[in-house]
Amino acid sequence: MTTETTSADPHRAVGPLLRWRTVDLITAVMIGVAFGIAFIGWAQVTNLTGPLFLALPPLAGLLGGFWWLPAVIGGLIIRRPGAALLAMLVGASVEPLLGGQWGISTLGSGLFQGIGVELGFLIFGYRRFTALSAMLGGLLAGLLETPYEWLTYYQEWALPYISLYAVTMMISGALLGGLVGLALVKALAATGVLAPFPPGRERAAAHQV
């Protein structure tokens, strides 16, 4: 994982994977802060849509994938071990500072969600950053987050309920977290702001005449 890469390989981070650049660190933090703010708004969305799931509460997991978007986006942009986890933990730290309704319990969520996304990239040795790896990371984040929420928020749920919740969280993680995260990264790359990162170099290479 310390093999050095160059600009000739636009798909991977430049230099040894574990050697973070200043721009990598700043970007991971900025992603986390931006989503920490966005989390306050998304919490209101989940509150407003709550009545829709009263008949079957575990279906609320279909909205879960949004919460680990910073991990997916951070991992896809920076492409270094720990990028997804760092962006996620920053976001999970900012949310309670802004008065998030779940308080510091979001730090636990951020940890499990970030680890899940990291595993999605680790499985491919941090060499593939495609829809498959993004969706896998999102799915694993949902899988790891479910037991934490069961112990923290939903202790009264029986096994069938929490099992259904795990399924909806994984589906949302793959689609809302993975595919939407990938789409957002591609949209950012199209603006040119990701020029220092692999997604920007990939786009430049694809548009070379």
Q: Which contacts of 31-34 are long-range, i.e. CB under 8 A and separated by 24 or more positions?
A: 31/70, 31/73, 31/74, 31/77, 31/87, 31/90, 31/91, 32/70, 32/74, 32/86, 32/87, 32/88, 32/89, 32/90, 32/91, 32/92, 32/93, 32/94, 33/90, 33/91, 33/94, 34/70, 34/91
Classify residue 10: in a domain, yes or no. Answer: no
Classify residue 101: in a domain, yes or no. Answer: yes
Classify residue 17: in a domain, yes or no. Answer: no
Classify residue 74: in a domain, yes or no. Answer: yes
Q: Higher pLDDT residue, 206 or 39?
A: 39
Backbone φ/ψ region at 3: left (φ over 0), alpha (ψ -120 to 50), beta: beta
Q: Which residues contact 140 (CB under 8 A, 6 or more apart)?
A: 116, 117, 119, 120, 173
Classify residue 132: in a domain, yes or no. Answer: yes
69-90 pLDDT, tens digit per residue, is 999 999 999 999 999 999 999 9
d(CA 198, CA 189): 9
CATH number at residue 32: 1.10.1760
121-162 pLDDT, tens digit per residue, is 999 999 999 999 999 999 999 999 999 999 999 999 999 999
| Total domains present in the chain | 1
Classify residue 172: in a domain, yes or no. Answer: yes
Classify residue 3: in a domain, yes or no. Answer: no
In this prediction, residue 204 has a pLDDT band, given cuts at 50, 70 and 90, of confident
- Average predicted confidence (pLDDT) for the chain: 94
Classify residue 138: in a domain, yes or no. Answer: yes
Tell me the residue range of the domain where 140 lies: 22-49+57-202
